[in-house]
Amino acid sequence: EPGFAGQSFMPEVLPKVERFARWARSRGYRGEIAVDGGVKPSNARSIIDAGASLLVAATAIFRAPDMAEAIAALKDPR
């Protein structure tokens, strides 16, 4: 669902990302799989684990008290 800046992440998309990633990789797709919308350090690991390779996280970075810290947390999600 297209939304607006700052929207919440929709965890129900994770199985769709996983299904698409499996389908795409089985057909030789080597490009990025991007997820946008509510991405933040606390959910980045589950999004990556589902198969995304590119995370769009503008609000999580630009509204963070420390943007460098937010970027570091997204690059190394726990």
Residue 36 is inside which H or E element, if any? strand 34-36
What does the pLDDT average to over 43-58?
95
What number of other Cβ atoms are within 10 A of residue 2's Cβ? Answer: 6
Q: Which pLDDT score is estimated for 8? A: 87
Name the band, by pLDDT with cuts 50, 70 and 90, for residue 78. Answer: confident
- 7 versus 51: which is more confidently predicted? 51
What is the reported pLDDT for 19?
A: 98
Q: Which two tokens stand for residue 76?
A: 């190394």
Query: pLDDT category, 2, cuts 50, 70, 90?
Result: low
